[in-house]
Amino acid sequence: MLKIDLSIVVFLPLASGLIAAFAPRGLARWIVFAGTLAVLGYAVAMLVDFDAGREGLSYATDKDWIPELGIHYALGIDGLNLFLVALTALLWTICTLVAAFKDYERQRLFFFQLALAETAVLGAFCAQDLALFVVFFDLMLVPFYFLIGGWGEGQRVAATTKFVIYTLVGSLLMLAGAVALGVLSAPGGAERSFLLRDLEAASLPEGTQQWIFLLFAAAFLVKMPAFPLHGWMPDAYRATPLPVLVLLSGVLSKVGAYGFLRVVLPILPDGAQHFQEVLLIIAVVSILYGSVLAFSQDDARLVVGYSSIAQLGFITLGIFALDPKGAQGAVFQMINHGLVTAGLFFIIAVLAARAGGSELLSRMGGIAYRAPVLAGLFLVVALATLAMPGSANFVGELLILFGVLEDKLVYGVVASAGIALAAVYMIRFYQRTMHNRLRTGVDSRDVRGVELVAIASIVVVIIGLGVYPQFVVERSERATVANVRQAEQVADRGGEAEAAPATAAPGPAPGAGAVPAGPDGQPIPVGPDGQPIPVGPDGQPIPGGAGGQPVPVGPDGQPIPVGPDGQPVPVSPPGGQAP
16 vs 242: CA distance, rounded Å: 22
Q: Do residues 242 and 249 touch, judged by C-beta distance below 8 A? A: no
- Map residue 229 onto helix, strand or coil: coil
In this predicted structure, what is the pLDDT of residue 307? 92
Q: Tell whether 323 is covered by a domain.
A: yes
CB 465 within 8 Å of CB 392: yes
Q: Is residue 131 part of a domain?
A: no
Model confidence band, residue 391 (pLDDT cutoffs 50, 70, 90): confident
What is the average per-residue pLDDT within 155-172? 90
- 231-262 pLDDT, tens per residue? 899 999 999 999 999 999 999 999 999 999 99
In this predicted model, which residue has the larger pLDDT, 401 or 555?
Answer: 401
Pick the residue with more confidence: 120 or 415? 120
Residue 159 lies in a domain: no
DSSP labels, 383-412? HHHTT-TTSHHHHHHHHHHHHHHHH-HHHH
CB-CB contact of 140 with 252 (8 Å): yes
Per residue in 352-374, pLDDT tens? 888 878 888 888 877 877 888 99
Q: What is the mean pLDDT of residues 370-394?
A: 89
In DSSP terms, which residues pair with 74 in a beta bridge?
Answer: 62
Report the percent of the chain where pLDDT is more than 70: 85
Confidence label for 498 from pLDDT (cuts 50, 70 and 90): very low
Does residue 571 surpass a pLDDT of 60? no
Cα separation, 223 vs 232, in Å, equals 10
Closest to 116 (Cα-Cα) out of 266, 285, 246, 247? 247
- Of the candidate ranges 185-194, 259-268, 447-456, the one whose mean pLDDT is the lowest: 185-194
In contact, 146 and 117? CB cutoff 8 Å: no
Cα gap 203→176, rounded to integer Å: 19
Q: What is the pLDDT of residues 313-341, one digit of tens each?
A: 999 999 999 888 999 999 999 999 999 99
The CB density around residue 186, as the number of other CB atoms within 10 Å, is 17
CB 518 within 8 A of CB 525: no
Q: In residues, how long is the chain?
A: 579
Per-residue confidence (pLDDT) for residue 540, from 0 to 100:
58
Report whether pLDDT(117) > 80: yes
Alpha-carbon distance 126 to 133, whole Å? 8
Task: Specify if 328 maps to a domain.
Answer: yes
Residue 64 within any structural domain of the chain? no
Query: Taken in order 8, 11, 14, 18, is the CA torsion positive or negative?
Result: negative
CA distance 222 to 260: 12
Cβ 429 vs Cβ 382: under 8 Å = yes
* pLDDT category of residue 545 using cuts at 50, 70 and 90: very low
Q: Please confirm whether the linkage preceding 228 is cis (ω < 30° from 0).
A: yes
Which residue has better confidence, 101 or 54? 101
Q: Does the pLDDT at position 502 exceed 70?
A: no
In a domain, 191, yes or no: no
End-to-end CA, the chain: 98
What integer best gives the mean pLDDT of the chain?
84
- How confident is the model at residue 435, as a pLDDT? 83
Mean pLDDT over residues 301-312, rounded? 92
Q: Is residue 395 part of a domain?
A: yes
Evaluate whether 149 touches 113 at the Cβ level (below 8 Å): no
Using DSSP bridges, classify how beta strands 58-66 and 71-77 pair: parallel, antiparallel or unpaired: antiparallel
**Worst-scoring range by mean pLDDT, 189-198, 459-468, 490-499?**
490-499
pLDDT higher than threshold 70 for residue 529: no
For 260-391, where are the alpha helices, taking DSSP H only? 265-267, 269-274, 276-296, 300-319, 324-354, 372-385
Average pLDDT over residues 506-522: 46
Indicate if the pLDDT at residue 509 is higher than 50: no
Q: What is the pLDDT of residue 484?
A: 87
The arithmetic mean of pLDDT across residues 442-448, rounded, is 78
The single-letter code of the amino acid at 428 is R
pTM, two decimals, is: 0.82
Structural domain of 464: 275-495
**Which conformational region is residue 253 in: left (phi greater than 0), alpha (psi within -120 to 50 degrees), or beta?**
alpha
Query: Which CB contacts under 8 angstroms, 24+ apart, belong to 206-211?
Result: 206/270, 206/271, 206/274, 208/180, 208/184, 209/268, 209/269, 209/270, 209/271, 209/274, 210/270, 210/271, 210/274, 210/275
Label residue 332 exposed, middle or buried (CB < 10 Å: 0-12, 13-18, 19+). buried
pLDDT at 496: 46
Greater confidence (148 vs 418) lies with: 148
What's the average model confidence in pLDDT over 4-19?
94
Range in 34-48, 383-397, 439-453, 502-516 the model is least confident about: 502-516
- Helix or strand or coil: residue 360? strand
- Return d(Cα 372, Cα 213) in angstroms, integer: 50
The confidence band for 513, taking pLDDT boundaries of 50, 70 and 90, is very low
Give the span between the Cα atoms of 561 and 570, in whole angstroms.
8
Q: At what angle do helices 141-151 and 156-184 cross, to 10 degrees?
A: 180
- Predicted local confidence at residue 522, as pLDDT: 57
In this structure, what DSSP letter does residue 364 have?
Answer: -
Share of the chain above pLDDT 90, in %: 49
Rounded to an integer, what distance in angstroms lies between the CA atom of residue 212 and that of residue 197? 18
pLDDT for residue 505: 38
Predicted confidence (pLDDT) at residue 508 exceeds the cutoff of 70: no
Q: How many domains does the chain have?
A: 1
Q: Give the helix/strand (H/E) hosting 141.
A: helix 141-151
- Residue range 452-470: average pLDDT? 93
Residue 369, domain member (yes or no): yes
| CA-based nearest residue to 541, from 520, 527, 556, 521 | 527
Residue 317: predicted pLDDT = 93
Rounded Cα distance between 371 and 376, Å, is: 9
